[in-house]
């Protein structure tokens, strides 16, 4: 899968080599190359502990445990971001379909996708790769 570039200026900008050194191979594939982990394999799919989910690439606050729900899809799902300004949405036309990609605004890392089939109050399902996240139980 090709890397994605954007015109958005990022607060965290690293070279490809620096990203490879900072991330595990699986995190690199997802965050920097728009990969997707296999369903039901991520470490946060079943997690119910309180805390904040941060970007595994740069540490930006993305989602709170209070908005996490079991979507049955095999990926951690949230009905809204903790800080809306920390996520960026972009049209993704890959795989012969149109979806809405979710990125970390701070570093441009690919997090997953958002769909309009989530629960109240937002009706949104942010379907996020576990390896794109880091759970912070103290927050």
The question of whether 131 is a catalytic residue gets the answer: no
Query: Among residues 55, 58, 107, 127, which one is catalytic?
Result: 127
Query: Which residues fall within 8 angstroms of residue 132, CB to CB, at 6 or more apart?
Result: 27, 30, 31, 55, 56, 57, 104, 109, 110, 111, 112
Phi-psi category of residue 23: left, alpha or beta, with phi > 0 → left and psi -120 to 50 → alpha: beta
Peptide bond into 134 cis (omega under 30): no
By annotation, the residues acting in catalysis are: 127
């Amino acid at each position: 899968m090709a890397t994605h570039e954007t015109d958005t200026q990022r607060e965290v900008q690293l070279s490809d080599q620096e990203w490879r050194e900072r991330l595990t191979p699986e995190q690199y594939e997802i965050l920097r190359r728009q990969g997707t982990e296999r369903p039901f394999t991520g470490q946060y799919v079943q997690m119910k502990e309180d805390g904040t989910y941060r970007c595994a690439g740069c540490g930006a606050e993305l989602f709170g445990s209070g908005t996490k729900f079991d979507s049955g899809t095999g990926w951690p799902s949230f009905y809204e971001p903790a800080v809306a300004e920390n996520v960026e949405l972009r049209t993704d036309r890959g795989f012969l379909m149109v979806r809405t990609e979710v990125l970390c605004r701070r570093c441009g890392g690919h997090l997953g996708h958002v769909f309009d089939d989530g629960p109240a109050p937002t009706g949104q399902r942010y379907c996020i790769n576990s390896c794109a996240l880091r759970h912070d139980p103290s927050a």
